[in-house]
Amino acid sequence: MAAEVLEALKPRPGGRYADGTLGGAGHAASILAASSPTGWLSGCDRDGAAVEAAKSRLAAEFAGRFEIRRGNFAEMAGWVPAASCDGVLLDLGVSSPQLDSPERGFSFQQDGPLDMRMDDRQPLTAADLVNDASAEELAKIFWEFGGERESRRFAKAIVHDRSQRKFKTTRQLAELIERISPRGGKKAHPATKIFQALRIAVNDEIGSLKRGLEAVVKILKPGGRLAVITFHSLEDRVVKEFGRERTRDYTFSGEVDVPELRQPRAPELKWVTRKAIAPGETELNENPRSRSAQLRVLEKI
Ligand SMILES: C[S@@+](CC[C@H](N)C(=O)[O-])C[C@H]1O[C@@H](n2cnc3c(N)ncnc32)[C@H](O)[C@@H]1O
């Protein structure tokens, strides 16, 4: 999505940009390159390893043109000046280094501790949830964050198994799911949704996204743009609903939008593209993980 992000944010010399999900700083580097020689980037990531990788990558080429902090993008408005940004990027989800490091515990394909924390300073891990949450809480997580139809069955099986042996590793959990839901001819591994759901819960990804979108509106200047890349329908729905609410020229009280009860107000944002942008064929061939990516772009009025 590199070209699409640049097309959306249109970085220019002297412009100020923010990247709330630095990861390996691929997008950050292309924003800085496109805004050379004087564009500025404020960047953050919750992951300490990502922050270190981003710092050394950007320092080599763009020294003196960025500020990087470790933290949640939901807190960006606390250190990026209000109404200062021409463009902000949120490239949500997990990075390849996170997925590919067994010791981070994000992947059921490799054995590692059942961790899944993007920020290892937070105490709550996936093992804590799996070993301590009630069957009802686990089923709710699997259903709401994973759309897992067998959420109750998996939750009950976990609660049963953990009374004999605590869950410590990704393999242990993946094996339990495989045992009660054999793979058959299905394309996706049966633990895919369970791992996604636990990761979203451990990192409070939906709460962070909602707060992050509020923060972005504060730091964008009028005419500035927000580009958000989502990787599953739950995230995309949050972005769509946020956009729908902030692009309306009225508010309404109560649960239902009744035309007679609308109060006019100036919209804060406008859609730059009505529909989500999907990755092109070249990107899909080069990076199969991008297959579920969707880019949405909003502009502050
Ligand atoms: C898909 S990767 C980003 C890749 C990056 N754009 C690049 O070009 O390499 C997502 C990154 O966002 C980080 N992240 C996810 N949610 C976050 C949040 N709420 N606050 C800060 N960082 C977050 C993850 O730790 C991960 O490093």
Q: Three-class SS of residue 177?
A: helix
pLDDT category of residue 188 using cuts at 50, 70 and 90: confident
Q: How far is the CA of 282 from the centre of ligand 1 (A)?
A: 23
How far is the C-alpha of 84 from the C-alpha of 190, rounded, in Å?
A: 45
Residue-level pLDDT at 252: 86
Q: Are the CB atoms for 200 and 234 separated by under 8 Å?
A: yes
**pLDDT surpasses 70 at 184:** no
Q: Is the CB of 46 under 6 A from ligand 1?
A: yes
How far is the C-alpha of 15 from the C-alpha of 32, rounded, in Å?
A: 10
Residue-level pLDDT at 161: 97
Residue-level pLDDT at 75: 98
**pLDDT surpasses 80 at 185:** no
How far is the C-alpha of 132 from the C-alpha of 154, rounded, in Å?
A: 15
Q: Is the CB of 50 under 6 A from ligand 1?
A: yes
Cα–Cα–Cα angle for 259, 264, 269, nearest 5°?
110
Q: Is the CB of 44 under 6 A from ligand 1?
A: yes
Q: Are the CB atoms for 156 and 135 separated by under 8 Å?
A: yes
pLDDT, one tens digit per residue, over 18-65 is 999 999 999 999 999 999 999 999 999 999 999 999 999 999 999 999
Mean pLDDT of the chain: 95
Q: Output b/e per residue, 216-247; b: 16+ Cβ within 10 A.
A: bbbbbeeebbbbbbbbbebbbebbbebbeebe
Residue-level pLDDT at 238: 98
pLDDT category of residue 228 using cuts at 50, 70 and 90: very high
**pLDDT surpasses 90 at 182:** no
How far is the C-alpha of 45 from the C-alpha of 301, rounded, in Å?
A: 27
How far is the C-alpha of 200 from the C-alpha of 213, rounded, in Å?
A: 17
pLDDT, one tens digit per residue, over 60-86 is 999 999 999 999 999 999 999 999 999
